[in-house]
Amino acid sequence: MSGTTNISHSNHDDHHHKETFITKYIFSQDHKMIAKQYLILGVLFMGFIGVAMSLLFRLQLAWPEQSFAVFDIFLGDWAPEGVMDPNIYLALVTIHGTIMVFFVLTAGLSGTFSNLLIPLQIGARDMASGLLNMISFWLFFLSSMVMLASLFVEAGPAAAGWTIYPPLSALPQTQPGSGTGMTLWLISMAIFVASSLLGSLNYIVTVINLRTKGMSMFRLPLTIWAFFVTAIIGVISFPVLLSAALLLIMDRSFGTSFFLSDIFVQGEVLHYQGGSPVLFEHLFWFLGHPEVYIVLLPALGITSEIIATNSRKPIFGYRAMVASILAIAFLSTIVWGHHMFISGMNPFLGSVFTFTTLLIAIPSAVKAFNYITTLWKGNLQFNPGMLFSIGLVSTFITGGLTGIILGDSTLDINIHDTYFVVAHFHLVMGISALYGLFAGVYHWFPKLFGTMMNKNLGYIHFWVTAISAYGVFFPMHFIGMAGLPRRYYTNTAFPYFDDLANINVVITVFALLAGAAQLVFLYNFLHSMFFGKKAEQNPWRSNTMEWTAPVEHIHGNWPGEIPHVHRWAYDYSKPGQKEDFVLQTTPHSKGEVETEH
Amino acid sequence: MTLLLTLTILILTGIALWQITKIFELSQLGRKKDDSQIATEKDNDLNGKLMFAFLVFIYVVTIYSFWSYSKVLLPESASAHGPAYDTLLWISFAIILFAQTITQAVLHVFAYKYRGINNRKAYFYTHNNKLEFIWTIIPAIIFFMLIIYGMVTWGNIMNIEEDEDALVIELYAQQWNWKARYAGQDNVLGDANVRFLNDFDGRNSVGIDSSDPNGMDDVVVTQEFHLPVNRKVIFKFRSQDVLHSAYMPHFRAQMNCVPGMITEFAFTPTVTTADMRMNSDVVDKVNRINKIRYENSKELTANGEEALEPYQFDYLLLCAKICGASHYNMQMKIVVESEKDYEKWLSEQKTFSETIQ
């Protein structure tokens, strides 16, 4: 290799053009810098806001209509004398959902790790198009700023729920949040979709075209498979959300009737004729359900990688894992109707969607069993990333199983839009994806910033979060089965749910505890970024290619020629090898047989 | 001022955390230095044991929740299809609780048992197609059985036959209340549209078309609606403004109300309100709620306000679809009673023709 280094280095000189502060840190086209930008804006900043909002409305739910100084400070006129207004309660729920689903778990998660890992793990110098990648981030920035700006309009931000079903979202007469707040929400999401599409196209093209020599599709680490398939689902489904948003904008501002018909508000018959809100539900969930997997698959990919590395074992059933990712991706596009069993659509469709929905449980179960078998007879290294990965498998099982109940159209009748749903999706996509995100941050922090995060703070972060996540969401199943609908400002307006009040207090206490644990993470992150211990090149003794690149970030990733790949990513503890890991770039030694997988 | 105070507290907490880590780091100085931030054998041991403890925690939370919170769950269903719904629910619950108990145990026990020890080599085991086949086919069989069972039940519940005997009632939703319209003597609902809402100085509260003779004997009620026990009721749902969802949890019934279309759901109530009030689950629930209300009343009377009235059980129609500010308080009382009481109550209500005179 050393012989070729000089030659290729001189070829590579054109990459080292002069960098100014602006091209290096702001309008950077380097995938590693863009990953950091997504991490800091999407995960830390937007995540902080999204979580803080949930704590505000949890306070209201535990101690309804009581005065809190913290409401007075942050909500001002929306909380007269510190008591939260019902409209602002709905706004907080809406923006919490929007920020967590789209900004943190879609853009933040994929943006950070697809950008960081795709070029580094497949052996590419950068993304296929650095420029598009940069534009993608700055569109995301713009979209975030528009969403945050909507928090400052007089009538408050969008408050129709993150699913923004019309007519509530279409008619400002029906709630204050459907005025300027909703306009900004729609603009923000339209920009977001553009950003997401540019990002996804880039990921797909990069994975297909820029793999280094020897990196066949079946030698790709599972992270890349997950990011690649996620990007494909995004390209298929996000445009449908964009069209729904555009049609809604037309209904709101230009008098069309795509989603509206026969409406009477505030003593006035409106002119809308012939549209249907159910059409919007179809369009929304055609994105909305694949979106669950857009959030979850990258987390599962990250977890596959981290569990294998820290078990010091190959991931069990690599091809089955790839097959289940593909199966989930395909099925995810034909299950959207299970959000609409009682929307008024034909009951026959309900049967069809029950069928496809329960089918998707099969590849999900296969993934869970493969994770568990990977742990079997391993030599588990409990680094913080590993703890979060095992935590993900645990919440994925707990949350996934209740999906069997919600996915059954019959059972959905009585728990639709109750807290049971809230408990289910928070565990299976919210908490699980967040665990995947945290796992990824702890694991690739050395690659991102060249320093290590403090492991003891990581342990505290995990255990407190793990306990409080179950403390928050487990009781919610029961208040849901007791019949309490979601998005209620308080459950004490009439006596029937009075006996749920103390459960709500328990949930809020755990939520506050979970919030506090995230401050430990935030502190650990910022402190380690500046003062953390310098990382070695391959701290976790991992097989994948990113650890062959130098710790210091350089443009083009490898100083010399890009290393070639000779084996799959999971030769951990292979018999006959001196170490318990073999880098993908290491050629087979004499007499060594390539692992069949 | 409060803002300043909060910010100061936040900053001070940050500094305190920083100092604590510093002290922690300094206290480690004398010992053999390991600040690699990579898990050691000791870390593996501790976290492996915690993994086992966490399994116990999950079990304890599950058992505690079932023991303590199952009393808040809905009582026995009060509709004819209810028992079939409840059976399917409990069968599904049994399956997922079984799967949950086993898989969580295996996951956490493996995490505990195989916690890392220096110089031990993991077992190199890449794949086993037989195993993959087994754990694909077993869930597949179970899910297929559940799907078929669910589909049959769904078909039975959602298949609404226009039955001569069935009572036709329209539930009408608006921000933020419910109204119910009875079809009257002819058991046919008159045509209706939001265009007619402003007719008769707003007395036409659900927009009945006064040119349709079928509508004249229709009866519109607010606050509460009554159902005769053991007679099939076909509900037609309408909304005048935004999406609402008519949720009647005790009858295991829910359907969205969609502006511009009429949706349907049917069930047969089987337990009268009076009988349900004698149900032991309901009696317990009412007692619990009244205890809470009694405590709250003490506080209120101490402040010179009126005490809360004691609570009595009633069936409820709730709104389950986000619909604006008062979504949380959009409900209507449902009274199930004998056919005789029902006829008597209905005859006391004004018909549409009486209302518009």
Give tens-digit pLDDT for B106-164: 999 999 999 999 988 999 999 999 999 999 999 999 999 998 999 999 999 998 877 77
Inside any domain, residue B269:
yes
For chain B, what is the domain count?
Answer: 1
**pLDDT confidence tier of residue B27, bands split at 50, 70 and 90:** low
CATH code (residue A466): 1.20.210.10
Report the C-alpha gap between A277 and A167 in whole angstroms. 7
CA nearest B206 in A: which residue? A264
Residue in A211, A312, A217 with CA at minimum distance from that of residue A571: A312
Whether residues B65 and A523 touch (CB distance < 8 A) is answered with no
Nearest neighbour of A467 by CB, restricted to B39, B57, B99? B57
CA nearest B309 in A: which residue? A495
Which is it for strands B224-228 and B331-337: parallel, antiparallel or unpaired?
parallel
Inside any domain, residue B297:
no
CA nearest B39 in A: which residue? A383
Nearest neighbour of A488 by CB, restricted to B35, B154, B328? B328
What global pTM score does this model have?
0.93
CATH code (residue B343): 2.60.40.420
- The per-residue pLDDT for range A352-369, each reduced to its tens digit, is 999 999 899 999 999 999
Inside any domain, residue A412:
yes
Kindly state the average pLDDT of the residues B169-192: 94
Secondary structure E strands in chain B: 167-174, 177-182, 219-222, 224-228, 233-239, 244-248, 253-257, 263-267, 315-319, 331-337
Is residue B2 scored above 80 in pLDDT? no
> Which residues form the domain of A77?
34-261+272-548
Best B322, B323, B330, B333 member to test A by mutation, with max A CBs in 10 Å, is B322
Inside any domain, residue A54:
yes
The whole-number pLDDT of residue A12 equals 46
Whether residues A311 and B122 touch (CB distance < 8 A) is answered with yes
Nearest neighbour of A499 by CB, restricted to B139, B285, B329? B285
Whether residues B260 and A260 touch (CB distance < 8 A) is answered with yes
Report the C-alpha gap between B207 and B202 in whole angstroms. 9
- Report which residue type is found at A78: W
Best B110, B134, B255 member to test A by mutation, with max A CBs in 10 Å, is B110
Inside any domain, residue B48:
no
For chain A, what is the domain count?
Answer: 1
Assigned token pair, A129: 């198009």
Vertex B84 angle, CA B79 and B89, to 5° = 110
Report the C-alpha gap between A182 and A176 in whole angstroms. 9
Nearest neighbour of B322 by CB, restricted to A261, A379, A487? A487
Is residue B254 scored above 60 in pLDDT? yes
Inside any domain, residue B331:
yes
Is residue A15 scored above 60 in pLDDT? no
Inside any domain, residue A573:
no
The whole-number pLDDT of residue B19 equals 74
CA nearest B76 in A: which residue? A482
Cβ A154 vs Cβ A127: under 8 Å: no
B202: number of Cβ within 10 Å: 9
Residues from chain A that touch B21, judged by Cβ atoms under 8 A, are 454, 457, 527
Kindly state the average pLDDT of the residues B24-46: 76
The whole-number pLDDT of residue B5 equals 65
Report the C-alpha gap between B20 and A545 in whole angstroms. 37
The whole-number pLDDT of residue B185 equals 87
Whether residues A454 and B104 touch (CB distance < 8 A) is answered with no
Nearest Cα of chain B lies from the Cα of A287 at a distance, in angstroms, of 20
Whether residues B107 and A376 touch (CB distance < 8 A) is answered with no
Whether residues B88 and A408 touch (CB distance < 8 A) is answered with yes
CA nearest A76 in B: which residue? B3
Cβ B192 vs Cβ B215: under 8 Å: yes
Residues from chain B that touch A86, judged by Cβ atoms under 8 A, are 325-328
Residues from chain B that touch A342, judged by Cβ atoms under 8 A, are 245, 254-256
User: Strand, helix or coil at B256?
Assistant: strand
Residue in A316, A353, A313 with CA at minimum distance from that of residue A331: A353
Higher pLDDT, B192 or A1: B192
**Which residues have C-beta within 8 Å of that of residue B318, sequence separation ≥ 6?**
A483, A485, B247, B248, B249, B330, B331
Best B85, B95, B243, B332 member to test A by mutation, with max A CBs in 10 Å, is B243
- The per-residue pLDDT for range A467-496, each reduced to its tens digit, is 999 999 999 999 999 999 999 999 999 999
Whether residues A533 and B36 touch (CB distance < 8 A) is answered with yes
Inside any domain, residue B350:
yes
CA nearest A355 in B: which residue? B147
The separation between CA A12 and the C-alpha centre of its own chain, rounded to angstroms, equals 36
Report the C-alpha gap between B37 and A539 in whole angstroms. 9
Whether residues B175 and A265 touch (CB distance < 8 A) is answered with yes
Nearest Cα of chain B lies from the Cα of A191 at a distance, in angstroms, of 26
> Which residues form the domain of B329?
167-276+313-355
